[in-house]
Homo-oligomer: A and B are copies of this chain.
Amino acid sequence: MPNLVDLADLPPIRLFDGVVARRVEGERVTLAIVELEPNGVVPPHQHRYEQNGMVIQGQMRFTVDGEERTLGPGGTWRILADVPHAAVAGPEGAVVIDVCSPIRDDWNDLPVIERLPYWPRS
Contacts and interface: CB of A to CB of B under 8 A. Distances in A.
Interface of A: 2-8, 10, 24-29, 31, 33, 50, 52-54, 56, 62, 64-65, 67-69, 71-81, 97, 99-102, 117, 119-120
Copies in the complex: 2
A117 B52 CA distance: 19
Contact of A26 (B68, B78, B97): B78
Contact of A24 (B6, B71, B78, B117): B78
A101 to B, nearest CB: 4
Contacts of A71: 4, 6
Nearest to A119: B74
Please report whether the interface of chain A is mostly helix, strand, loop or mixed according to DSSP.
Answer: strand
B101 A4 contact: no
Contacts of A73: 119-120
A29 to B, nearest CB: 4
